[in-house]
Amino acid sequence: MIPMAKDGQLKSFDAPVELQFGGEKVAIASVEEAVERLAHVDWPGERGPRHRDAYETCLKALDGHRTAANARAELIEAAREAGILAED
- CB crowding 11-40: b at 16 or more within 10 Å, else e: bebeeebebbeeeeebebebbbbbbebbee
**pLDDT value of residue 6:** 60
Q: Is residue 5 very low, low, confident or very high in pLDDT (cuts 50, 70, 90)? A: low
Domain ranges of the chain: 12-82
**pLDDT value of residue 45:** 78
The answer to pTM > 0.95 is no
Q: Model confidence over 54-72: pLDDT tens digits?
A: 999 999 999 999 999 999 9
Q: Model confidence over 19-46: pLDDT tens digits?
A: 998 788 999 999 999 999 999 878 887 8
